[in-house]
């Protein structure tokens, strides 16, 4: 194939599984500012697949108990362990963190300057998915903090 056809999607899209995709879409929009770009609904009207994102990035959301899943799927809250993370860049990590916290996100790492040159915070959503949000530090600020 000469040109990859991706229907406007990036060539790499993480997919996270949720027990309640509808609730996940609402939370990710309210707490993290992601916008829904696509939804596929089952016969009962509930989402079984969704695509959310910001700017050019997309995260796919799947139903963890889908009967047509290739392999059994679960959520971190049911597994009791973390198995993945999504790393998103935002304009201002501190503002984003405060907003997410007000909307129910569990902040597990407060905003901090990282040695690789990003200011980062981490949060967990209601189903246990791990999200990292970062803002690149300016070169002057990175050098001031020893990074």
Give residue-wise pLDDT tens across range 11-60. 778 889 898 999 999 999 999 999 999 999 989 999 989 999 998 899 99
Instruction: Record the tokens describing residue 48, joined without a space.
Output: 């079984």
Within a domain: residue 40?
Answer: yes
**How buried is residue 31: exposed, middle or buried, by Cβ count under 10 Å (0-12/13-18/19+)?**
buried
Q: Are 100 and 122 in contact (CB under 8 A)?
A: no
> Higher model confidence: residue 81 or residue 4?
81
Q: Are 109 and 118 in contact (CB under 8 A)?
A: no
Q: In the predicted model, is pLDDT for residue 124 greater than 90?
A: yes
Q: Please give the tally of structural domains in the chain.
A: 1
User: Token match 């690149």: residue?
Assistant: 136
Within a domain: residue 57?
Answer: yes
What is the reported pLDDT for 63?
83
Within a domain: residue 23?
Answer: yes
Domain housing 130: 15-65+78-144
What is the reported pLDDT for 35?
96
- Which run of H or E residues covers position 51? strand 47-54
> Which CATH number goes with the domain that contains 116?
3.10.180.10
Kindly indicate the confidence band of residue 1, based on its pLDDT and cuts at 50, 70 and 90. Answer: very low
Within a domain: residue 42?
Answer: yes
Kindly indicate the confidence band of residue 10, based on its pLDDT and cuts at 50, 70 and 90. Answer: confident
């Amino acid at each position: 194939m000469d040109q990859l056809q991706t229907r406007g999607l990036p060539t790499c899209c993480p997919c996270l599984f949720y027990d309640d995709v509808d609730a996940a879409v609402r939370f990710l929009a309210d707490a993290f500012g992601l916008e829904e770009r696509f939804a596929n609904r089952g016969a009962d009207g509930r989402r079984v697949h969704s695509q959310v994102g910001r700017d050019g990035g997309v995260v796919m959301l799947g139903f963890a108990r889908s009967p047509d899943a290739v392999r059994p799927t679960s959520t971190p809250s049911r597994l009791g362990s973390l198995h993945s993370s999504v790393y998103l860049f935002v304009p201002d990590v501190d503002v984003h963190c405060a907003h997410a916290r007000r909307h129910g996100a569990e902040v597990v790492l407060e905003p901090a300057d990282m040695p690789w040159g990003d200011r980062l915070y981490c949060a967990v959503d209601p189903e246990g998915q791990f999200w990292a949000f970062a803002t690149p530090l300016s070169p002057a600020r990175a050098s001031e903090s020893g990074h």
